[in-house]
Amino acid sequence: MHETEPAIYTVEPGEHIDIRVTPSGTGVFVAAGLDGQTLARLPGSDNAPSYRFVAGAIGRVHIVQMEFSFPQANAGSRYDVAITGDRGGSASFTIRESSALKDPSLEFSVT
């Protein structure tokens, strides 16, 4: 996996992509979708939600849509998001309670 621009990545066919969300100062109010379908949390990741998908064939573009909420959150609350590929590469970003964008789209192009 390689980040080519913010929120835009290239991945290899069959590569396993892991997305881990770590909340700080807030509860766990995050949801994710892959290509228009709900992306389920991995079992046992209730306090720090983790998601995984497998990249398709060359030429495929996967869209991961995420949504973060901060009900009754403390000032300075945030979600730290780490993305890794099983063939190497990683990226990260943070969504803060004060962030204007709380529903980022991530694009994964299979090359």
pLDDT tens digits, one per residue of 31-76: 999 999 999 999 999 899 999 999 999 999 999 999 999 998 888 9
pLDDT on residue 9: 98
Please report how many Cα atoms fall inside a 13 Å half-sphere around the Cα of residue 70, on the Cβ side.
19
Sheet bearing 8-11, strands edge to edge: 2-5, 8-11, 105-110, 61-68, 30-34, 37-38
Instruction: Say what the pLDDT of residue 73 is.
Output: 81
pLDDT greater than 90 at residue 15: yes
Q: The domain containing residue 17 runs over which residues? A: 2-110
Place of tokens 């064939």: 57
pLDDT above 90 (res 105): yes
**Tokens, residue 26:** 């807030």
For 73, other C-beta atoms within 10 Å of its C-beta total 17
Instruction: Provide the domain count of the chain.
Output: 1
